[in-house]
Structure 1
């Protein structure tokens, strides 16, 4: 894999004019990131050899008045952790004698063709830095900083050895555990949507596991940058992205509102992804956790449902013993019309989610875990019209097509 790790023209060689020009270009690239969050998370980096990077920092003792001391931190690439549609994730090990962090994950996102290099990454890098703030790290995988060369952007992240949720999908989840995971993901989506971001590729492979059964703790990763970069470079709209089992009908070009409806008026361009695609994806994930079956196992099945030639697949939920409130929320999240799906904040106040705080998983549930038959849940259903009224500020009010695509000069 050494050939894929191309050193940029940023190494400090005293008599190499081309290297100096490369160094200047890196500074110029950095200056285009107007956000303080993005600039502050940038890592000055050299590439001394294949599979090794060296980050330069200036550190000082806060209790001392001495000048800051220049320090170098080296990382060596160990192995490939995974390959996604838009990037490769590597495991790297610190070469420092007494490292503060021994292992990290680094996502490499290729910049692609020359025309892609004018893409503005500021919005996405700002999100990565923002959601790494202590206020959000319980929901998102923390970034440790970012750097780039001419061919790729590299995002460093905390490494979690328990892996992603996909590897745990071997059996049905007890409903209480499925509810715990769903509520945590809804909280993460609230933060993203409130800040004008849609994930657009939410799936078990993009959900990292901190703690397992019976009291799960999961975090969202891989949000925004790679998908947005592809959209800007190819004007992607209705071309399906992500994993088919979690794609909303509008992502696959299977849904268009009635041109006379209010929804059509509000969504002048109904082919542009909105934040409601994340609600659909989470509904599909919850459905699978409870039933160990995909709600729509093929694009054909999804197409029939989207065109009302097939009803909602309720039977697997019934056979799994899902409670009425669980079935109700999943069905609402998997509504064909994006406008009919609850927002993340509304879903968090659904009776099924609120039950989490009344009957959260306990040690007694461990006998049913991991991933045996779902718990029996005889919760009385609560009609949707009895939910609390929506928040005064709709967190899903910022459509993705209104995000800035270029920086102001």
Structure 2
């Protein structure tokens, strides 16, 4: 059994489900083997929160997300805590039409990424998973519940350059880890950035979520040709793969383009392209110049350069995740603040993988 299969299998939960009552009973290993109570197992009961009380959290092409509450815990701790549960049908319109064979192939990519990035050392950058289980014709992925929702819900007004820098820095740190381990998110957008903290109580703090269409490089390859992603934040090469019968390859650089598009949306209040025709013209002819919109919003020279270098039409010319962290717009700002709670920015900016 390979390491990837081990990751997935080790995070599988043992459950019994009462479908009629929307109750899930878990039996799992005790995280504290030295506890005076039963050392070997922990029993938990989770109930779905009624939709009228905010139990339905959202839906997309890859599944629905519900809120559950813990009503019983054999350890007697944290009863009443919440979690989010993503429900993915094993078959359906979410499946990638370019994949053949085992219908589990797509959701296994999400399970693998969730298991990998749910270790404590990654918890500052990614929405954590508590495990997954299979029941009837669906896969259920349990995750931390983040009450403030996603960043899309806060786009009614423009973000300041400083707030955008902070959010971008947090996303970059997540991408550094993802790309280092061969994962490409492939659908970065405000809806997939969950808001942990927000003004006025605290500074903006987001985590990357939804690995439903992430994919990992195999045997050192870095190019993928699956036609997936959200157009408004999709790199040109991804758009080409959608609009052509011929599959086009793309790489980690697609995530960097998406980050640039997110920055434009936050700082200007507008999408980089306000129509499909303009985007299509750019893809065919280039170059892209978001400079006018950024200038109108008084974005600094360094901020405009950062966006331009993320959104280069040529994927090979874009900043890498590490290059983005080292860019003056990010590194200068990180000297004055923390990127995430308990994570000194100057340490993060100088981090190197060995």
| TM-score band, normalised by shorter chain | 0.7 to 0.9
Q: Which residue of 2 aligns with 1:77?
A: 48
Deviation at 1:302, TM superposition (A): 1.3
Q: Give the conservation status (yes or no) of the 8 Å contact 1:254–1:306.
A: no
Report the more deviating stretch, 98-107 or 40-49.
98-107
Q: Which residue of 1 aligns with 2:84?
A: 105
Q: How big is each residue's C-alpha offset from its partner over 1:308-349, in whole Å with a ceiling of 9 and x where there is no partner?
A: 266413111001000000000101111111111111011110
Q: Which residue of 1 aligns with 2:298?
A: 321
Q: How big is each residue's C-alpha offset from its partner over 1:33-75, in whole Å with a ceiling of 9 and x where there is no partner?
A: 8643322211001113322211112549644688645543111
Q: Which residue of 1 aligns with 2:313?
A: 336
Q: Which residue of 2 aligns with 1:158?
A: 144
Deviation at 1:282, TM superposition (A): 0.4
Label 1:291 to 1:53 Cα distance change in 2 as closer, same or farther (>3 A). Answer: same
2:154 corresponds to 1:144 = no
Label 1:159 to 1:310 Cα distance change in 2 as closer, same or farther (>3 A). Answer: same
Q: Give the conservation status (yes or no) of the 8 Å contact 1:244–1:298.
A: no
Deviation at 1:255, TM superposition (A): 11
Q: Which residue of 1 aligns with 2:25?
A: 54
In structure 2, C-alpha distance between the alignment counterparts of 1:238 and 1:60, rounded to whole Å: 38
TM-score (norm 1): 0.70
Q: Give the conservation status (yes or no) of the 8 Å contact 1:238–1:250.
A: no
Deviation at 1:104, TM superposition (A): 0.4
Give the match's secondary structure for 1:219: strand
Label 1:319 to 1:146 Cα distance change in 2 as closer, same or farther (>3 A). Answer: same
Q: Which residue of 1 aligns with 2:174?
A: 188
In structure 1, C-alpha distance between the alignment counterparts of 2:124 and 2:72, rounded to whole Å: 28
Give the match's secondary structure for 1:96: strand
RMSD: 3.1
2:9 corresponds to 1:39 = yes
Q: Give the conservation status (yes or no) of the 8 Å contact 1:238–1:252.
A: no
Q: Give the conservation status (yes or no) of the 8 Å contact 1:42–1:147.
A: yes
Deviation at 1:157, TM superposition (A): 0.5
Deviation at 1:392, TM superposition (A): 9.3
Q: Which residue of 2 aligns with 1:242?
A: 229
Alignment of 1:189-228 (within 5 A): 189-213=175-199, 215-223=203-211, 225-226=212-213
In structure 2, C-alpha distance between the alignment counterparts of 1:253 and 1:296, rounded to whole Å: 16
In structure 1, C-alpha distance between the alignment counterparts of 2:290 and 2:32, rounded to whole Å: 61
Task: Count how many residue pairs are aligned between Structure 1 and Structure 2.
Answer: 315
Larger radius of gyration: 1
Label 1:34 to 1:302 Cα distance change in 2 as closer, same or farther (>3 A). Answer: closer
Equivalent residue in structure 2 for 1:285, among 259, 262, 269: 262
In structure 1, C-alpha distance between the alignment counterparts of 2:312 and 2:331, rounded to whole Å: 21
In structure 1, C-alpha distance between the alignment counterparts of 2:41 and 2:179, rounded to whole Å: 39
Deviation at 1:100, TM superposition (A): 2.5
Equivalent residue in structure 2 for 1:305, among 282, 293, 298: 282
Alignment of 1:308-387 (within 5 A): 308=285, 311-360=288-337
Deviation at 1:226, TM superposition (A): 4.3
Label 1:64 to 1:323 Cα distance change in 2 as closer, same or farther (>3 A). Answer: closer
Give the match's secondary structure for 1:332: helix
